[in-house]
């Protein structure tokens, strides 16, 4: 029955994606109870398809069904997850990640059989878009308001003006958020995936911060040395083929008194303490994406997405850092402060 439940969830993910892309959730948000005909009219969709979709949503607990009136309703809590694109818990884009995992199955089978790697840029494009969109809202809800203030003295330096490196920036959402919040600082995003850098530049332009948020293709061991007051690794250190080398390079280009902000997937240090739905998600992604990319980069140390705080601390200790502490945490992330 657990396997059937998981299969039902996988089918449900397709329904979530359809509902998001067709605007069905948005049309239901704040509208009160609606019939299938009313929702179909609001979204310019065919009523028979909408009715079946609504029944699937009701069966999964994603909408409420009122039997007497034969209407369906999206509660405010459900709307936060399914309809509000600015909500920190907006989930529909995350379903693009398992789609990409299925499309990349042949590559993954080959990697398992040969021990070879699969680089980030070799995955189906929905991986890059899904990861960027999913993490964007989590960063938007926490990065400036909670995580940066949890670091000793960093907000004051950002307000005064420092150089910041965002290593493995992807589509640049984290870089843009910081640039919007701290106009006196200058932000530099780096990633090995050229298509993501193109997206990051466009996102910065759209946000009006292109003059103080620049993006370039570079590895974690050769980006320009600007003596950064803050170096950030957002959910990427565990993807690197040689995280110790990346940490050593960060020590070299970090300004005196500077800080490394390390954001990693939440994990305990022992497998038996990581047996949870969130850990299952991360272990699965690690099997097909994180470890695969680290191996493609040489795999000197393949941390995986559930490395845990102790292993991460050891990486930075080997790189010559002496200060390492957990500054904050969420159910999905560890926020770690590192200094020399």
- pLDDT tens digit sequence for 161-199: 999 999 999 999 999 999 999 999 999 999 999 999 999
Domain ranges in the chain are 2-84, 93-339
- Of the candidates 59, 68, 62, 24, which has an alpha carbon nearest to the alpha carbon of residue 44? 24
- The number of beta carbons lying within 10 Å of the beta carbon of residue 164 is 26
Q: What is the mean pLDDT of residues 252-264?
A: 98
Cα separation of 179 and 209, whole Å? 6
Encode pLDDT of 316-334 as tens digits.
999 999 999 999 999 999 9
Cα separation of 338 and 340, whole Å? 7
Cα separation of 193 and 217, whole Å? 7
* pLDDT value at 134 more than 90: no
Cα separation of 182 and 159, whole Å? 6
Encode pLDDT of 34-71 as tens digits.
999 999 999 999 999 999 999 999 999 999 999 999 99
Query: Taking a C-beta distance cutoff of 8 angstroms, is the pair 176, 151 a contact?
Result: no
Start-to-end C-alpha separation, the chain: 51
Strand partners, 71: 66
The mean pLDDT of the chain is 96
Phi, psi of 42 (to 5 degrees): -65, -30
The SS3 of residue 64 is: strand
Tokens found for residue 107? 């590559």
Query: Taking a C-beta distance cutoff of 8 angstroms, is the pair 45, 38 a contact?
Result: no
CATH number of 93-339: 3.40.50.150
Q: What is the mean pLDDT of residues 261-274?
A: 97
Q: How confident is the model at residue 95 (pLDDT cuts 50, 70, 90)?
A: very high
Fold of the domain built from segment(s) 2-84: Arc Repressor Mutant, subunit A (1.10.10)
């Amino acid at each position: 029955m657990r396997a059937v439940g998981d299969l039902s969830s996988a089918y449900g993910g397709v329904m979530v994606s359809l509902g998001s892309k067709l605007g069905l959730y948005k049309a239901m948000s704040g509208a009160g109870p609606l019939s299938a005909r009313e929702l179909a009219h609001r979204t310019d969709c065919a009523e028979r398809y909408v009715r079946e979709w609504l029944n699937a949503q009701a069966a999964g607990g994603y909408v409420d069904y009122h039997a007497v009136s034969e209407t369906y309703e999206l509660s405010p809590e459900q709307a936060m997850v399914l309809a509000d694109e600015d909500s920190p818990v907006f989930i529909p884009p995350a379903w693009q990640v398992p789609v990409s995992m299925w499309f990349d199955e042949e590559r993954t089978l080959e990697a398992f059989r040969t021990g070879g790697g699969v680089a980030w840029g070799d995955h189906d494009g929905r991986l890059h878009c899904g990861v960027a969109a999913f993490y964007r809202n989590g960063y938007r809800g926490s990065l400036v308001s909670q995580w940066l203030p949890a670091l000793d003295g960093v907000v004051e330096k950002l307000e005064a003006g420092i150089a910041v490196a965002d290593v493995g920036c992807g589509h640049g959402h984290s870089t843009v958020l910081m640039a919007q919040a701290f106009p006196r600082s200058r932000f530099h995003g780096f990633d090995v995936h050229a298509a993501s850098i193109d997206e990051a530049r466009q996102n910065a332009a759209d946000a009006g911060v292109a003059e103080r948020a620049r993006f370039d293709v570079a590895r974690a061991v050769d980006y320009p040395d600007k003596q950064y007051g803050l170096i950030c690794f957002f959910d990427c250190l565990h993807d690197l083929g040689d995280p110790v080398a990346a940490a050593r390079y960060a020590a070299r280009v970090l300004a005196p008194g500077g800080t490394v902000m390390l954001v990693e997937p939440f994990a305990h240090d022992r497998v038996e303490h990581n047996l949870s739905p969130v850990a299952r998600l991360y272990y699965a992604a690690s099997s097909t994406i994180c470890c695969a990319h680290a191996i493609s980069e040489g795999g000197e140390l393949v941390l995986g997405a559930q490395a845990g705080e102790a292993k991460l601390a050891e990486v930075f200790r080997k790189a010559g850092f002496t200060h390492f502490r957990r500054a904050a945490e969420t159910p999905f992330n560890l926020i770690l402060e590192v200094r020399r």
